Amino acid sequence: MLSQIFTISRVTFIEALRQPIYFILIMIAGGAILLTTWSTGYSMGMTEAGEVSGDNKLLLDVSLATVFLCGTLLGAFTATSAVSREIENKTVLTVVSKPVPRAVLILGKYLGVAAAIIVAVIQMILFVWLAIRHGVLTNAAQELDMPVIVFSVGALAISLLVAVWGNFFYGWHFTQTAALLLLPLMVVAFLLVMLIGPKWEVQTFFKDFKPQSAIACVSVLAALLVMAAVAIAASTRLGQVMTIVVCFGMMLMGLMSGYLVGQYAYDNEPLARIKAAAPERERFASFANSGDEYTLTLRAGPKRKIAAGQALYYGPMPNGSALSHPGFVAPTGPIDSEAALRIGSPAAIVVTSWQPTDLKLTIRNIGGEGVRVDRPPQRDDYLFDRPTRVNIAALGAWGIIPNLQFFWLLDAVTQNQTIPTNHLTLLLAYAATQVVLFLALAILLFQKRDVG
C-alpha cells in the first residue's frame, strides 16, 4: 500500500509541475513581491526595534498575503488536475480498475499536490525574504541592495536558460525543469545574501536572519496545506471553476470564522486586565496550592464592582476561552479564612483585598486542595467575575471550519512579540487535524463517485 501511495504521489507531483499555471503563479508571486518593495514605501511606518521595522512591516504583510493567495490558487489548480480532470477524462479508471483502494488514491493525490505546493511556496517565501533583506525603497536616492539583485536575478536567469536549453535539445519539460531548478538556486541565492552584506562585505549568517518571521512563514505554509486538502475534497465532485470557487469561499470563511462563528462559542465579559502580577511570598509563586496568594495590579479600573470575598477567574483570552484553571463554583456568603483552607472545603479563587486608588487587588487560592491551576496569573491576562459559558453548537462549527486567522502570525512579528515554540507546535497539530478531516471527507465523497 505504501508503494502505491508513493507511486501515485510521485506521478501527481510531476504532473503538477508540468502545468503551465504552476510556474506562472510562482513568477506572478515573485513579480508582485518585487513591486511591493516600491508600493509599500508610503505607509509612513515608524522605525522600531525588532525583526521587522518601519515600512518593512507592511512589505512583509503584503508579501505573505500574496504568497497565501497564489498558494491557494495553486492548490485549486493542481487538485483539479489531479482528481477532477482525471475523472472527467476517464483516466482515473486505469487506477481504480486495479486493486488500488480509493482511499489510497486520494491520499497519494494529496501528497503529490502537497509536495508541489511546498516546492512552490518555499520559492515564494524566499522571494519574500530577499525582499525584506533589500527593504522598501522609500525614495529615489536610496541605494539598491546589489547582492540581493545579483543573486536572485542570477538564480532566475540560470533556471530559465537551462530550462529553455534542455527543452530545445533534450525535450525536457520547460515548467518542470525551471521550477525544480529554481528551488535549489534560490536557496543558494538566499544563503549567499545572508552571508554577504549590502556593500558586499562578509557578515554572520544570523545578522539578517529573522527567526520569528520564519515561524510566520512556516505557519502560512501549514495553512496552504490545509487549503490543498480542501481543494482535493472539492475536486472529487466539482470541476475546476467550482473547485476554485469553493477554495476561495473556504478561505474567506476561514479568515472570518472568528467573527462569523467564534464570537458566539464563548460567552464572557472581562472584568479587567492585569498590568503586573507578583506572589505575596516566594513559596506562593506557583499559585497551585491552597492558601497561595498573588497581588495583581490592573491596567485600568474594573468594568464592574470588585469586593473582598468574590470569586475571580483569569486567562489569556478576552472572551474567556482557555482559562488557566478549571471551572469552580463561586462561594456564597462571607468566607471564613480559616475554614476555607480545611480539608473538604470547596476550592475557589477569591479576592481577599481591593485597593481602588492603587488599582491593586490580592487573590487567594482556597479550598481543601485548592484550584489546580495550569499556571499562575501573569501580565496581560484578563480577569473575569464569572465562569465562561460555552455554546457547543457554535464551538463545533468553529472547530470544523479551518480558522485561518490562527495561522496569521504577522501581527506578533510586526508588534515585536515573541512567538512561543509551543504555539507553532499547536498550530501544526491543528493543521494536521484539519488535513485529516478534509481528506476523510474527500474519501467519503469519492467512494460513491461514478467514474465509469
Sign of CA dihedral 41, 44, 47, 48: negative
Q: Residue 56: which of 132, 117, 2 has the closest Cα?
A: 132
**Is residue 50 scored above 70 in pLDDT?**
no
* pLDDT of amino acid 140: 63
Cβ–Cβ < 8 Å for 290, 345: no
Mean pLDDT of 109-115: 92
* pLDDT of amino acid 141: 65
Between 88-102, 231-245, 436-450, the lowest mean confidence (pLDDT) is in: 88-102
Cβ–Cβ < 8 Å for 410, 60: yes
**Is residue 99 scored above 60 in pLDDT?**
yes
* pLDDT of amino acid 61: 85
**Is residue 102 scored above 70 in pLDDT?**
yes
Beta bridge partners of 362: 295, 353
Sign of CA dihedral 424, 425, 426, 428: positive
Mean pLDDT of 425-431: 92
**Is residue 308 scored above 90 in pLDDT?**
no
Q: Residue 251: which of 266, 229, 267 has the closest Cα?
A: 229
Cβ–Cβ < 8 Å for 347, 334: no
* pLDDT of amino acid 403: 86
Confidence of residue 49 (pLDDT cuts 50, 70, 90): low
* pLDDT of amino acid 46: 53
Sort 79 into a burial class: Cβ within 10 Å, 0-12 / 13-18 / 19+: buried
SS3 79: helix
DSSP 8-state symbol, 206: G
**Is residue 202 scored above 60 in pLDDT?**
yes
Between 36-40, 69-73, 280-284, the lowest mean confidence (pLDDT) is in: 36-40
Count of beta carbons in the 10 Å neighbourhood of residue 366: 28
**Is residue 41 scored above 60 in pLDDT?**
yes
* 100 or 114, which is more confident: 114
**Is residue 182 scored above 60 in pLDDT?**
yes
- Report which secondary-structure segment, H or E, holds 166: helix 146-170
CA–CA distance, 250 with 72 (Å, rounded to integer): 10
Cβ–Cβ < 8 Å for 374, 314: no
Confidence of residue 181 (pLDDT cuts 50, 70, 90): very high
* pLDDT of amino acid 279: 92
Give the mean pLDDT of the chain: 85
Distance set, CA 377 to CA 174, 278, 296, 327, 418 (Å): 59, 8, 8, 15, 19
Mean pLDDT of 414-420: 79
Distance set, CA 440 to CA 50, 72, 80, 221, 446 (Å): 42, 20, 18, 21, 10
**Is residue 292 scored above 60 in pLDDT?**
yes
* 342 or 429, which is more confident: 429
Q: Which three cell numbers stand for residue 100?
A: 488500488
* pLDDT of amino acid 66: 92
**Is residue 384 scored above 90 in pLDDT?**
yes
Give every strand in the sheet of 360-366, ordered side by side: 313-315, 382-384, 272-279, 293-298, 360-366, 348-355
Count of beta carbons in the 10 Å neighbourhood of residue 445: 17
* pLDDT of amino acid 68: 92
Between 34-43, 267-276, 299-308, 385-394, the lowest mean confidence (pLDDT) is in: 34-43
* pLDDT of amino acid 323: 86
